[in-house]
Structures are given as structure tokens and as C-alpha cells.
């Protein structure tokens, strides 16, 4: 059944609000370039060491920065940028504690890095105050992984454990490129004259990428949810990202959708289908390398599994409520509840700016992009049609 014009516009406007929220959570282009310049410098410094084990060391970005799903931490300005320092075959026989020490010793030889350096459990952190942290984790090649995987230190630095950041990134990007199938809208159920001049929705568009935006929204909701529950342990980002990527791939392969909100909703709802539980143990496998179970700590801390499922139920419910709200006031209230006050304020202010002036002038238009507010104007001026002044829900 086709949605009428009012419903299409309401949902497009909500999509635009979510897009603006996500934009507030990620590294700006300037921040990303600054981080890149700095980790390039760190890479050159490590590679210049006279220690044979550090010869040919390479540094690359892993995690959310690498796949485009960064979420600014609540309560501080710094972004976390996770780096891998991959040592080659010369270091393969070294224990992880020694490899980590070699990297730390080399960083301490640099006058600037020594002042910024902080030792973490498995990595070294360069803390650029009010900008970002560069967390540098050592790795060595994993000969047991046919997918060019790596070994990284476990938390106690007693042993190496399998990982594959580059393979994970490639798998995520492949899934993110999958295009959902959108139902073709041939008409809109309102005034015949207005309907004749409005083009149908595109097959895809609006979000930077539905999978990436879904991950950012879920991670931000997680941060807000657990900030309000300081005694509980939030699920780690790689669990959220992995389950959403698998669910998104499953949904795109088997479903058709009205719009991006439907895709986001279905992918989030399906996350728990990909958690494996057998013989009293939890498993969320890294499918790019054998032996890495992202849910490993759930098996020694069952409360973490319980916290994850409780949070996921809240996420599904909050998305459902958000989809049902009408008007800017309703969007503001639910965005604040689900994603926090500051991003909600910015998103709603953007919507108000995008809608108020053109509407007052009788020039508000609705176009084929389906975007409600991801640019200074509500939508691009081409391929657009006039929007009736009194069809907005509560505005």
C-alpha cells in the first residue's frame, strides 16, 4: 500500500533529522585530516627505529574511523582514533609484552610523543587534549589466517589473540555497498493536481549510507542509555557494528522497503538473530578470521549479555516511537530521549531553519531526493513540487 504525501514528507523529514544527528557525532573532514597527518608522523617515527623488530612497521586506522561510523563520546570533546602498528616477520617470535614495550620505548624517544604518551592495557595512547586520542595497538601477522589476519595482545599481555581489522573493514564495506530494494511509488494519495507534479521517491538516497548511519544511531543510543545506568556495562562497539552489518545484509537480501527508515528499523530489529547461544556459551564470531569471539566476555560476565538484550529492547522501542511522532516538537522530544539533548537540539534547529523561511514565503518544495534536512535548503531545487502549506504534521 502506497503512503500518501503527508506520510512521505513526515518520514523524509525525520530521516533528515537523523542524518543531521549523525553528522554531529563524527569526525569533521578537518579533524580526520589532522588525525591522518599525526598518525602518518607516528608511523614514520616508529619505522625509523634502529631496532630490527620495528623495521618495516606500518600503521593504519582500524575500527569506527576506518569504516566511517565514529560517534563522539558523551561528555568530552575528544574522538577516539584506533590505530594498528603492524610489525613484520622479525617480531613474530617476541611475546606481546615485549613488542608493546618496544613500541612504547620508541615513542618515548620523541620529545612531543613522550609528553602525550599514556600506557593502556594493550596499547599506547597519544592524548591530544580536546581533539582526539590515538590508540596504537601492536600486531604481528597471523600465519593461521588465510585472510591476511593478525595477532594482537590479549588484555593481560600474556599471549597473542587473533584479529583482522583490515579484513573486517573490507567485509563491512562490502555490506555497506548493498542497496536496499525500494518499492516504486507510482502515485500519491491526495490532491490530483499536486500529485501529477511530484516525482516518486528514488530507489535509495538520503543517508550517507543506511548501514553506517544505523550503526552510528545504535551506538549513540547505547551511549545515552548506559550513561543513565552507570552501574551497567555497555556492549562494545564491535558487537553493535557486527550484528547490525549481518542483519542489514540479511534484510537487504530478503526484503523490500518503503524508505530508509524501514531499512534502519528492520536492521536494528534483527540484530539479536545473529547472536549464537549454545551449551551455555555466547558467540558473536569475527567472520574474517578464525578464533575471535566478540562476545567472549559475556561468558565470564553474564550480566553483560543481559545488559545488551535489555538495551536492544529499548533501542527497538525508541525507534518505533520516533517513527510515530508528528511535528518538530515530537521529533525534538524523542530525539532527546533516544539520542541525547545536544544532537537533538542541532537537528531540530536545522529542520526549523530549513522549513520556516520557505514555508512562510509559500515556496517550500518537496523533491526527488527524499531528504528533509541534510543541506541548507530542505531539498535540492531541481525535480521538485510545491508543498501545500497546511499538510505538515503539527508544525
Structural domains in the chain, sorted by start: 5-26+173-386 (no CATH), 29-165 (3.30.460)
SS3 309: helix
Whether the CA torsion 298, 220, 67, 123 is positive or negative: it is negative
Distances (CA, A) of 222 to 141, 197, 235, 373: 33, 42, 8, 24
Where helices occur in 63-164 by DSSP H, the ranges are 63-67, 96-108, 111-116
60, containing H or E segment: strand 58-62
On the 0-12 / 13-18 / 19+ scale of CB atoms within 10 A, 57 is buried
How far is residue 102 CA from its own chain's centroid?
Answer: 33
| pLDDT value, residue 316 | 98
Distance separating alpha carbons of residues 115 and 30, to the nearest angstrom: 24
Other CB atoms closer than 10 Å to residue 361's CB: what's the count? 8
Per-residue pLDDT of the chain (395 residues; tens, 9 = 90+): 556 667 877 888 888 889 999 988 888 788 878 888 887 888 889 888 888 888 878 888 899 989 999 998 887 777 888 999 999 866 668 899 999 999 999 999 999 999 999 999 999 999 998 888 899 999 999 999 999 999 999 989 899 999 999 999 999 999 999 999 988 643 333 333 333 333 232 233 346 799 999 999 999 999 999 999 998 999 999 999 999 999 999 999 999 999 999 999 999 999 999 999 999 999 999 999 999 999 999 999 999 999 999 999 999 999 999 999 888 888 889 999 999 988 888 888 887 777 665 555 554 444 433 333 333 222 222 233 333 332 222 22
| pLDDT value, residue 380 | 28
| pLDDT value, residue 43 | 84
| pLDDT value, residue 373 | 33
**Can you read off the three cell numbers belonging to residue 98?**
615485549
**Can you read off the three cell numbers belonging to residue 282?**
555466547
| pLDDT value, residue 351 | 79
| pLDDT value, residue 6 | 77
Distance separating alpha carbons of residues 233 and 143, to the nearest angstrom: 34
Distances (CA, A) of 191 to 164, 327, 395: 55, 22, 20
Distance separating alpha carbons of residues 182 and 174, to the nearest angstrom: 19
**Can you read off the three cell numbers belonging to residue 360?**
512562510
Other CB atoms closer than 10 Å to residue 1's CB: what's the count? 6
Count of all residues that appear for the chain in the document: 395
SS3 2: coil
Which among 207, 180, 268 has a CA at the least distance from the CA of 18? Answer: 207
| pLDDT value, residue 205 | 32
Cα diameter, the chain: 77
- HEC states along 163-190? ECHHHHHHHHHHHHCCCCEECCCCCCCC
Distance separating alpha carbons of residues 86 and 69, to the nearest angstrom: 23
| pLDDT value, residue 4 | 67
Amino acid at each position: 500500500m502506497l503512503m500518501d504525501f503527508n506520510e512521505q514528507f513526515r518520514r523524509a523529514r525525520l530521516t533528515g533529522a537523523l542524518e543531521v544527528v549523525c553528522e554531529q557525532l563524527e569526525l569533521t573532514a578537518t579533524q580526520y585530516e589532522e588525525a591522518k597527518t599525526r598518525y602518518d608522523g607516528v608511523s614514520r617515527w616508529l619505522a625509523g627505529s634502529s631496532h630490527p623488530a620495528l623495521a618495516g612497521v606500518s600503521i593504519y586506522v582500524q575500527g569506527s574511523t576506518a569504516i566511517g561510523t565514529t560517534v563522539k563520546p558523551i561528555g568530552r570533546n575528544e574522538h577516539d582514533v584506533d590505530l594498528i602498528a603492524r610489525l613484520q616477520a622479525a617480531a613474530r617470535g617476541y611475546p606481546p609484552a615485549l613488542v608493546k614495550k618496544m613500541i612504547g620505548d620508541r615513542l618515548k624517544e620523541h620529545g612531543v610523543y613522550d609528553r602525550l604518551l599514556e600506557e593502556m592495557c594493550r596499547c599506547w595512547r597519544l592524548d591530544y587534549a580536546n581533539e582526539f586520542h590515538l590508540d596504537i595497538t601492536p600486531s604481528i601477522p597471523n600465519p593461521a589466517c588465510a585472510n591476511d589476519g593478525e595477532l594482537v595482545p590479549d588484555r593481560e599481555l600474556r599471549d597473542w589473540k587473533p584479529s583482522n581489522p583490515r579484513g573486517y573493514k573490507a567485509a563491512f564495506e562490502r555490506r555497506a555497498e548493498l542497496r536496499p530494494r525500494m518499492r516504486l511509488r507510482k502515485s500519491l494519495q491526495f490532491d490530483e493536481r499536486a500529485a501529477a507534479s511530484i516525482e516518486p521517491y528514488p530507489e535509495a538516497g538520503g543517508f550517507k549510507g543506511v548501514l553506517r548511519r544505523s550503526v552510528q544511531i545504535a551506538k549513540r543510543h547505547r551511549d545515552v542509555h548506559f550513561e543513565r545506568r552507570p552501574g551497567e556495562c555497555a556492549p562494545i562497539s564491535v558487537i553493535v557494528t557486527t550484528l547490525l552489518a549481518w542483519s542489514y545484509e540479511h534484510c537487504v537480501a530478503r526484503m523490500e522497503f518503503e524508505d530508509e527508515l524501514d531499512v534502519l528499523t528492520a536492521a536494528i530489529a534483527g540484530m539479536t538473530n545473529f547472536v549464537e547461544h549454545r551449551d551455555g556459551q555466547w558467540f558473536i564470531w569475527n567472520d574474517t578470521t578464525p578464533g575471535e569471539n566478540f562476545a567472549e566476555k559475556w561468558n565470564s560476565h553474564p550480566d553483560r549479555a543481559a545488559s545488551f538484550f535489555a538495551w536492544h529492547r529499548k533501542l527497538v522501542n525508541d525507534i518505533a516511537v520516533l517513527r510515530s511522532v508528528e511535528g518538530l516538537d515530537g521529533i525534538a522530544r524523542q530525539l532527546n530521549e533516544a539520542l541525547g539533548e545536544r544532537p537533538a537540539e542541532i537537528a531540530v534547529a536545522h529542520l526549523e531553519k530549513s522549513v520556516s523561511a520557505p514555508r512562510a514565503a509559500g515556496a517550500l518544495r518537496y523533491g526527488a531526493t527524499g531528504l528533509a534536512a541534510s543541506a541548507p535548503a530542505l531539498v535540492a531545487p531541481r525535480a521538485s513540487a510545491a508543498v501545500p502549506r497546511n499538510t505538515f504534521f503539527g508544525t
